[in-house]
Amino acid sequence: MHNFPISQNLVTSPFLKWVGGKRWLISKHCNIFPQKYSQYIEPFLGSGAVFFHLKPTTGILSDLNKELIDVYKAIKEGWREIDAILQDYQKNHNSEFYYNTRNNEVTSSPEKAARFIYLNRTCWNGLYRVNLNGKFNVPIGTKTKVILDNDNFAAIAAALENIELVHSDFEDTISYAKNDDFVFIDPPYTVKHNNNGFIKYNENLFSWDDQVRLRDSTANAIQRGAKVIITNAAHDSVEQLYTDKIFTISKFTRHSVLAGTIKDRKPCEELIICGNCGNI
């Protein structure tokens, strides 16, 4: 087992890979985030790149993915057993072990968390996908490291100490935002009338009606005095949602990492939508 030093300063990156994660944003545009705020709220947690960068001392982290939230809770409540299980997974990792682990159910919270982290780190491209029966079905990837050099679960647990972790719809979470709170919002990038396969996959998780509902709930939060930053797809339909003068829209460019081959990983644009921030 690792003897991790317990220091929040060591939590410099997420412990999960996540499609659409915001490591690129914090590495190139960390100046957009407000320096002062009351509590931090993030309703689409994913890998939590912005949370781990800002290291807020109080806040609410939520996601509609219950398995994901349970992983964060398990680390917060007992990281040592999770680390021990992952050490065992590292010794046994191969293709047969991966598919056996993927197909087998476990029962305890530490076992479930370790299994989730193991599959995330060794599956194809860190993709989280389940079948119609709710079973994780992503094939094995090329990465073989189960234990990463920058792992520090003690520091992660310390960072989460005063953070509320909630399995919740985004609208409920955003409703808690009050004057001077900071809400960072990174939803699935669903756009209106788009036949792209990835967008169609997201449409099952996050519909266009959800995009409208997100706009309305963030507008209400801004009117209550909350500071809001939203990342979203650079698409006309999304821009048209945020025409209200309380929103400021910018476009940032990044390299796509989702494509299967390097030659297809071309620069793409994303929207950064701000309310009450003044940093963009």
CA of 159: how far to CAs of 9, 51, 52, 121, 231, in Å? 9, 9, 8, 21, 24
Residue with tokens 């509590």: 39
Residues 50 and 93 in one domain: no
Residues 271 and 190 in one domain: yes
Q: Which two tokens stand for residue 135?
A: 């079973």
Q: What does the pLDDT read at residue 257?
A: 55
Residues 37 and 100 in one domain: no
Q: What does the pLDDT read at residue 36?
A: 95
Q: The whole model's pTM is what?
A: 0.89
3-class secondary-structure state, position 247: coil
Q: What does the pLDDT read at residue 59?
A: 98
Residues 22 and 100 in one domain: no
Residues 162 and 236 in one domain: yes
Ramachandran quadrant class, 48 (left: phi over 0; alpha: psi -120 to 50; beta: rest): left
Could you give the number of structural domains in the chain?
Answer: 2
Give the pLDDT of the chain (280 residues) as one tens digit per residue.
Answer: 555 444 445 555 799 999 888 988 998 888 999 999 999 999 999 999 999 999 999 999 999 999 999 999 999 999 999 999 999 999 999 999 999 999 999 999 999 999 999 999 999 998 998 888 889 999 999 999 999 999 999 999 999 999 999 999 999 999 999 999 999 999 998 776 544 444 444 445 788 999 999 999 999 999 999 999 999 999 999 999 999 999 999 999 876 655 555 555 567 889 999 999 875 6
Q: At 229, which CATH number? A: 3.40.50.150
Beta bridge partners of 60: 41, 164
Among 227, 118, 134, 123, smallest CA distance to 174 is for 227
45 with 69: CB under 8 angstroms?
yes
Domain boundary among 89, 120, 149: 149
Q: At 113, which CATH number? A: 1.10.1020.10
Q: Which two tokens stand for residue 112?
A: 């479930």
N-terminal to C-terminal alpha carbon distance within the chain: 44
Q: Give the residue numbers spanning the domain of 38.
A: 8-74+154-275
Q: What does the pLDDT read at residue 85?
A: 98
Helix/strand/coil percent split, the chain, to 5 = 40, 15, 40
